[in-house]
Amino acid sequence: MARIGLGDGWTCAFANDFDPVKAATYRANFADAEGHFRQGDVFALDAQDLPTADLAWASSPCQDFSLAGARAGLAGGKSSAFFGFWTLMKALSAEGRAPPVIVIENVVGLLTSHHGEDFTALCGALGDEGYRFGALEIDAAAFAPQSRPRVFVVATRLPTAGLEGASVFHSRAIREAAARLPRDLHTHWIWWGAPAPPARNTDLSAMLEPDAAVSWNPPERTEALLALMAPAHREAVETRRNAGGRAVGAVFRRMRGTQQRAEVRFDGLAGCLRTPRGGSSRQTLLVIDGGQVRSRLLTAREGARLMGLPDSYQLPASQTSGLQVVGDGVAVPAVRWLAETLLEPLVYSKTASLAAE
């Protein structure tokens, strides 16, 4: 999805993933995959496997950084994949082939994992290799109808003139993480001046399949779902039922203390897509139309649309595998915006500098 977001102006020279489902999906969607895709553990790679490139992108598994997970941090078994990636970057640097721009994408929990120590360690690793860096918190909701905040750490050895300044993506969490950095790392910090995008003009209902094309829960299951709602959420449903029009809400089941609750939102956004194995229930849709309330599960294709993927994007045959692929991904339009406003100007500055020489 990062590749699709970067767009046709970029050529993918190398890609790697350990997961066989995601690997098969990548091959199905990119005809050139056999020439550059390597399935397997990032720790099994070495610098000789990698080409020289303008950009390296790392989206390591987020479970160890997630606020919903065990928060093992960079020492965790999954997010420690970052160190496999970083070993390769250091080796390329030693050969004089380090990418001038690096993007590291992860969940917002990266900023506070182990009281900020993991983020400091990440910044320290970048600084030790001569990179300056900054971070942006970009929510996919700015571009697509899904609440999906993610942190994008952008590091570079290139000139940054004209690219620094204030940004709506300097969230409170970003500002606090930067403030916690030790003094020696402050000299490497960049406040990237990424502008705000135009207002989003789509909502959740626009992403959905026609009612007749999907399977709906039986009425008793919908009633059981409604029974799990706290009074405020049930009132929100009843208000829309009594209004008589059509309303679409996204529902998650969550544990609140010792009690399971169903929570619904009618703000035009889906909740953050997650993988079926990510510790949360699969997202449910609640559709109220003409006083009738129905419910069903979100489909993988609808999830793909919420990630900004075109309908031509080939998904695995099973719903579970499809949701695994999209739930583990990065929102395509967020990447495109980052590329247009920051990554491409950085790389073009390198090209202009070489031309001047």
pLDDT in tens, 177-195: 999 999 999 999 999 999 9
Q: How many domains does the chain have?
A: 2
Residues 293 and 336 in one domain: no
Amino acid 61: pLDDT: 76
What is this structure's pTM?
A: 0.93
Residues 6 and 144 in one domain: yes
For residue 1, what are its two tokens? Answer: 């999805």
Positions marked active-site: 62
The DSSP annotation for 14-60 comes to -EEES-HHHHHHHHHH-TTHHHHEEES-GGG--GGGPPP-SEEEE--
For residue 265, what are the domain limits?
210-298
**CATH number of the domain residue 135 falls in:** 3.40.50.150
Distance of CA 263 to the CA centre of its chain: 23
pLDDT-flagged residues of the chain (< 50):
67, 278-279
For residue 32, what are its two tokens? Answer: 């050139």
Residue 167 covered by a domain: yes
What whole-number distance in Å separates Cα of residue 126 and Cα of residue 79?
Answer: 17
Residue 166 covered by a domain: yes
Residue 278 covered by a domain: yes
Tokens 């965790």 found at: 76
Amino acid 107: pLDDT: 92
Residues 192 and 231 in one domain: no
Do residues 318 and 282 lie in contact, with contact meaning Cβ atoms separated by under 8 Å? no
Last residue of a domain, one of 298, 323, 343: 298
Residue 325 covered by a domain: no
Q: Which residues lie closer than 8 Å to 346 by C-beta, 6 or more apart? A: 100, 101, 156, 158, 160, 163
* pLDDT tens figures, 275-330: 876 445 679 999 999 999 999 999 999 999 999 999 999 999 999 999 999 999 99
Amino acid 282: pLDDT: 77
Residue 45 covered by a domain: yes
